[in-house]
């Protein structure tokens, strides 16, 4: 039997009510559902672009999709649906996959602009970003806080991917680069929804809305990757 239970203790504003399928308790069901949708888009994008992976930047963006999808499904199960069972500390598994996914996007942008930047700048960006990734993994274990993931995401996507892809777009007019920029813009909107807690009701709160914008973000980036054939052929062997 399906039943609905309004949780007596609301952990966050507008938290989804808990539902039960028989004896199975599922917390934040709409947040779980929107996470699953986001995950499905990520896995779909990874699968549909497998034939395009000969270009290193594309391959790294594909891994960004895959690892983001894994992070999302872990978040859905551990961070929302069964948080009461796994405990708050188990959220770190999703955080680690999230950091890994952002890392792939960082290096994808670096490789996508390699010919424009030149080997000197390219090698230094690889070195700096490698240090940043190591620091993020160490910091998340020391602090055990999602703030580390947010900071790494801001550095990786806004101060790295966006700037590099903008440089590439201005130089080449790459449709991949502009779609990546638009996608990151949607991801920023998702973060703002979460920070300012834009919520319609307990059945569609700020977390759910942020997941929708993240799903749109992934789809837009996927569409950009599908246009990769318009990139100068000499770029594909990098």
- State pLDDT tens for residues 194-224: 888 888 888 999 999 999 999 999 999 999 9
The secondary structure of the chain as a DSSP string is: -EEEE--SS-SSTTPPPEEEETTEEESSHHHHHHHHHHHHHHHHHHHHTGGGTTSHHHHHHHHHHHHHHHHHHHIIIIIIITHHHH-GGGGHHHHHHHHHHHHHHHHHHHHHTHHHHHHHHHHHHHHHHHHHHHHHHHHHHHH--HHHHHHHHIIIIIIIIHHHHHHHHHHH--HHHHHHHHHHHHHHHHHHHHHHT--SBTTB-HHHHHHHHHHHHHHHHHHHHHTGGGS-GGGGG-
**Of 114-118, 129-133, 199-203, the least confident:** 199-203
Show the CA angle centred on residue 53, arms to residues 63 and 128, nearest 5°: 50
Q: What is the model's pLDDT at position 229?
A: 56
Q: Name the average pLDDT for the chain.
A: 89
Q: What is the model's pLDDT at position 209?
A: 93
Q: Token digits for 89?
A: 């500390």
| pLDDT tops 50 at residue 7 | no
| pLDDT tops 60 at residue 6 | no
| pLDDT tops 90 at residue 3 | no
Residues in the chain: 238
- State pLDDT tens for residues 61-111: 999 999 999 999 999 999 999 999 999 999 999 999 999 999 999 999 999
| pLDDT tops 80 at residue 9 | no
CB-based contacts of 220: which residues, under 8 Å, 6+ apart?
Answer: 179, 182, 183, 186
Query: Which candidate, 138, 65, 70, places its Cα nearest to that of 105?
Result: 65
Q: Token digits for 18?
A: 């808990």
- State pLDDT tens for residues 178-195: 999 999 999 999 988 888
Domain boundaries, the chain: 29-230
The mean per-residue pLDDT over the stretch 132-136 comes to 95
| pLDDT tops 60 at residue 36 | yes
């Amino acid at each position: 039997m399906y039943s609905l239970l309004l949780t007596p203790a609301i952990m966050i504003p507008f938290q989804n009510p808990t539902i039960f399928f028989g004896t199975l308790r599922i917390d934040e069901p709409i947040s779980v559902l929107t996470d699953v949708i986001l995950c499905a888009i990520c896995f779909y994008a990874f699968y549909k672009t497998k034939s395009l992976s000969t270009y290193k930047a594309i391959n790294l963006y594909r891994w960004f999709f895959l690892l983001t999808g894994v992070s999302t499904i872990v978040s859905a199960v551990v961070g929302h649906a069964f948080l009461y069972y796994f405990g708050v500390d188990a959220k770190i598994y999703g955080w680690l996959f999230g950091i890994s996914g952002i890392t792939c996007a960082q290096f994808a942008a670096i490789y996508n602009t390699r010919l424009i930047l030149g080997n000197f700048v390219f090698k230094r960006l690889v070195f700096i970003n490698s240090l940043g990734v190591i620091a993020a993994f160490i910091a998340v274990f020391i602090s055990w806080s999602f703030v580390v993931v947010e900071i790494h995401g801001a550095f990786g996507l806004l101060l790295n991917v966006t700037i590099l892809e903008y440089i590439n777009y201005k130089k080449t007019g790459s449709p991949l680069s502009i779609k990546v920029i638009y996608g990151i813009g949607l991801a920023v909107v998702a973060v703002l929804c979460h920070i300012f807690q834009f919520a319609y009701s307990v059945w569609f709160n700020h977390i759910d809305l942020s997941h929708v914008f993240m799903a749109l973000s992934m789809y837009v980036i996927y569409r950009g990757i599908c246009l990769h054939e318009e990139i100068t052929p000499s770029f594909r062997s990098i």
